[in-house]
């Protein structure tokens, strides 16, 4: 598997690409020609939150560079295990907004369904790296509680598929769930929050486009790209397919120290996103999840970056700088 050519990897189905992800830190370091001094820390942090990198994403990481911006998003580091003040396992207090299994209701007018507990990639800064997915994995019969909750609240106009990554589940399951949601008359919009088009672009299959665009619900997709190097030709093709099918595409980025905290990285990201049919939407300040403190960028620096971006780009390419605060009734703009 290590020696698979790019052409071979690209010809695999998305399920095969998911199944052949790299999960062993030693294998990852070997494949990228990296110093084995990183191994002990990687193994320790991997125990806490496992390594997972699919091959299409791995192909975009430069060999021999421990500071590659894509590698840094996925490589476990020993420093993740150091306690940091203000960091916790549930920084957004989501467990208090989880009225029935599989559903999170934080903001007026929309609810989030935890469609899949799985991800195609494990991002080291993930705010749900400690989320209790075991209690939030409804099967078809249990989804009824979440569907009843939505049906009983006519203020809910939008349903958001989240996870994990909702596209890690099968199109058959997503088709069924979308039909159930669409049968609730007051729901108008369906939003899918996913990183799969970035990490395994083959995921955008004909059957995926089918359930997403054959519903009466107005579809949008919020992808999650943090760096322009993530947006290669295969990703661009997947995004064009979605756009051509009528899906509104938006991007959210997490601001990450050493990865995208420069004007150049953010400007190139916005420009590349627009080129592939996606509007920059949010630039998130990091959620203070245990294990991610080394990625934090100060608000002062974040605001400087937005000022620099505003001077360099038209307004529609400048994402909103936001933070999530538990109990706030929307994301909070950082001005």
CA–CA distance, 176 with 162 (Å, rounded to integer): 16
Q: Which of 195, 203, 241, 284 binds ligand SF4 (CB under 6 A)?
A: 195
Q: Which of 68, 94, 165, 296 binds ligand SF4 (CB under 6 A)?
A: 165
The one segment of 22-30, 148-156, 158-166, 292-300 that binds ligand SF4 by CB under 6 A: 158-166
**According to the binding rule CB under 6 A, does residue 253 interact with ligand SF4?**
no
Tokens for 254, please give them. Answer: 């997490």
**According to the binding rule CB under 6 A, does residue 163 interact with ligand SF4?**
yes
Which phi and psi (to 5°) does residue 119 adopt?
Answer: -125, 160
- 3-state class percentages of the chain: helix first, strand second, coil last, to nearest 5: 40, 15, 40
Judged by CB, which is closer to ligand SF4: 165, or 261? 165
Residues between 208 and 237 with contacts to ligand SF4, criterion CB under 6 A: 224
Q: Collapse the DSSP code of 179 into the 3-class scheme (helix H, G, I; strand E, B; otherwise coil) and give the result.
A: helix
**According to the binding rule CB under 6 A, does residue 54 interact with ligand SF4?**
no
CA–CA distance, 1 with 55 (Å, rounded to integer): 9
Judged by CB, which is closer to ligand SF4: 126, or 318? 126
Judged by CB, which is closer to ligand SF4: 127, or 143? 127
Judged by CB, which is closer to ligand SF4: 61, or 187? 61
Using only C-alpha atoms, the chain has a radius of gyration, in whole angstroms, of 19
**According to the binding rule CB under 6 A, does residue 191 interact with ligand SF4?**
no
Judged by CB, which is closer to ligand SF4: 187, or 282? 282
Residues between 3 and 32 with contacts to ligand SF4, criterion CB under 6 A: none
Judged by CB, which is closer to ligand SF4: 224, or 272? 224
Q: In the chain, where do the E strands start and end? A: 103-104, 110-116, 158-163, 189-194, 218-224, 248-254, 279-284, 320-323, 332-333
The one segment of 13-21, 35-43, 117-125, 307-315 that binds ligand SF4 by CB under 6 A: 117-125
Torsion angle (degrees, nearest 10) of CA 160, 161, 162, 165:
-150
**According to the binding rule CB under 6 A, does residue 119 interact with ligand SF4?**
yes
- Shortest separation between residue 224's beta carbon and ligand SF4, angstroms: 6
**According to the binding rule CB under 6 A, does residue 122 interact with ligand SF4?**
yes
Whether residue 196 contacts residue 165, with contact meaning beta carbons closer than 8 Å, is answered with yes
Whether residue 283 contacts residue 260, with contact meaning beta carbons closer than 8 Å, is answered with no
**According to the binding rule CB under 6 A, does residue 121 interact with ligand SF4?**
yes
The one segment of 3-11, 74-82, 135-143, 159-167 that binds ligand SF4 by CB under 6 A: 159-167
Judged by CB, which is closer to ligand SF4: 162, or 187? 162
**According to the binding rule CB under 6 A, does residue 91 interact with ligand SF4?**
no
The closest alpha carbon to 148, from 180, 179, 109, 117, belongs to 180
**According to the binding rule CB under 6 A, does residue 123 interact with ligand SF4?**
yes
**According to the binding rule CB under 6 A, does residue 128 interact with ligand SF4?**
yes
The closest alpha carbon to 106, from 330, 334, 257, belongs to 330
Tokens for 306, please give them. Answer: 């937005």
CA–CA distance, 60 with 199 (Å, rounded to integer): 10
- Residues near ligand SF4, by CB under 6 A: 119, 121-123, 126, 128, 163-165, 195, 224
């Amino acid at each position: 598997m290590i020696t698979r050519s790019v052409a071979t990897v690209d010809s695999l189905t998305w399920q095969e690409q998911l199944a052949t992800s790299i999960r062993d830190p030693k294998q990852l370091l070997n494949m990228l020609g990296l110093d084995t001094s990183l191994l002990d820390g990687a193994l320790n942090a991997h125990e806490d939150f496992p390594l997972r990198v699919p091959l299409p994403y791995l192909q975009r990481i430069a060999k021999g560079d421990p500071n590659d911006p894509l590698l840094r998003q996925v490589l476990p580091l020993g420093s993740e295990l150091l306690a940091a003040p203000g960091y916790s396992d549930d920084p957004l207090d989501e467990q208090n907004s989880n009225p029935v299994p599989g559903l999170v209701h934080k903001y007026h007018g929309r609810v989030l369904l935890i469609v899949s507990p799985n991800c195609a990639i494990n991002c080291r800064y993930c705010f749900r790296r400690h989320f209790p997915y075991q209690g939030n994995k409804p099967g078809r019969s249990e989804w009824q509680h979440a569907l009843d909750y939505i049906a009983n609240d006519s203020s809910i106009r939008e349903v958001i598929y989240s996870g994990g990554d909702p596209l890690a589940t099968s199109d058959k399951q997503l088709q069924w769930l979308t039909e159930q949601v669409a049968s609730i008359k007051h729901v108008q919009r369906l939003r899918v929050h996913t990183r799969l088009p970035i990490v395994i672009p083959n995921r955008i299959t004909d059957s995926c486009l089918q359930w997403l665009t054959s519903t009466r619900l107005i579809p949008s997709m919020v992808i999650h790209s943090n760096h322009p190097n993530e947006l290669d030709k295969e990703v661009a093709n997947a995004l064009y397919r979605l756009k051509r099918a009528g899906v509104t595409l938006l991007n959210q980025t997490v601001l990450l120290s050493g990865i995208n905290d420069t004007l150049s990285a953010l400007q190139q990201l916005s420009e590349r996103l627009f080129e592939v049919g996606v509007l920059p939407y949010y630039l998130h300040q990091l959620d203070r999840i245990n294990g991610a403190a080394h990625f934090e960028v100060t608000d002062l620096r974040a605001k400087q970056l937005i000022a620099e971006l505003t001077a360099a780009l038209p307004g529609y390419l400048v994402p909103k700088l936001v933070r999530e605060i538990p109990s706030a009734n929307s994301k909070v703009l950082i001005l």
